[in-house]
Amino acid sequence: MPSGEVFVWVMMAALVSAAVWINIATWSGAPISTTHSVVGGILGAGVAAAGFSTVHWTSLAGITASWMISPILGGGIAALLLAFIKTFIIYREDKIDAAIFWTPILIAVMTGSFATYFAVIGLEKVVDVSLTTGILTGLAVAGVTVISSRPWIARQAQGLDNRNQSLRKLFQMPLILSAALLSFAHGANDVSNAVGPLSAIVANVNGLAIVKTTHVPLWVMLIGAFGISCGLLLFGPKLIRVVGEEITKLNPMRAYCVALATAITVILATSLGLPVSTTHTAVGAVFGIGFFHEWYTRNSKRRLEYVRQKTGHLDFERRVEHSPEEWHRRRLVRRSHFLTIVSAWVITVPVSALLSAAVYMVFAILFI
pLDDT single digits (tens) 98-151 = 999 999 998 898 888 878 877 877 676 677 778 788 889 999 999 999 999 899
Taking the chain (368 residues) in consecutive chunks of 10 residues, what is each chunk's mean pLDDT?
73 89 82 81 89 78 75 91 90 88 89 81 72 89 92 88 83 78 65 71 67 66 79 72 70 86 77 70 87 81 71 53 50 69 85 94 85
d(C-alpha 327, C-alpha 332), whole Å:
10
Domain enclosing residue 207, as ranges: 73-345
Q: Is 169 in contact with 160 (CB distance < 8 Å)?
A: yes
d(C-alpha 166, C-alpha 156), whole Å:
10
Which residue type does 291 have?
Answer: F
Handedness of CA 311, 313, 314, 318 (dihedral sign): negative
For residue 360, tell me if it sits in a domain. Answer: no
Handedness of CA 51, 57, 63, 65 (dihedral sign): positive
For residue 295, tell me if it sits in a domain. Answer: yes
d(C-alpha 249, C-alpha 239), whole Å:
15
d(C-alpha 335, C-alpha 348), whole Å:
20
Kindly list the distances between the CA atom of residue 349 and the CA atoms of 40, 305, 342, in Å, as whole numbers in the listed order: 4, 48, 13
- What total of structural domains would you count in the chain? 1
Global confidence as pTM? 0.77
d(C-alpha 287, C-alpha 332), whole Å:
10
How would DSSP label each residue in 266-292? HHHHHHTT----HHHHHHHHHHHHHHH
Closest C-alpha among 270, 254, 288, 205 to residue 85: 254
For residue 195, tell me if it sits in a domain. Answer: yes
Task: Report the percent of the chain where pLDDT is more than 90.
Answer: 14
Q: What is the pLDDT of residues 147-193, one digit of tens each?
A: 998 998 899 888 888 887 888 888 887 788 777 766 766 665 566 66
How would DSSP label each residue in 145-194? HHHHHHHHHHHHHTT--SSHHHHHHHTHHHHHHHHHHHHHHHHHHHHHHH
In the chain, count of helices (H) and strands (E)?
15, 0
- The secondary structure of residue 248, as a DSSP letter, is B
Closest C-alpha among 313, 319, 255, 309 to residue 91: 309
d(C-alpha 91, C-alpha 103), whole Å:
15
For residue 103, tell me if it sits in a domain. Answer: yes
Closest C-alpha among 106, 140, 138 to residue 119: 138
Phi, psi for 312 (deg, rounded to 5): 85, -5
For residue 288, tell me if it sits in a domain. Answer: yes
For residue 277, tell me if it sits in a domain. Answer: yes
d(C-alpha 8, C-alpha 191), whole Å:
20
Longest dimension (CA), the chain: 78
For residue 337, tell me if it sits in a domain. Answer: yes
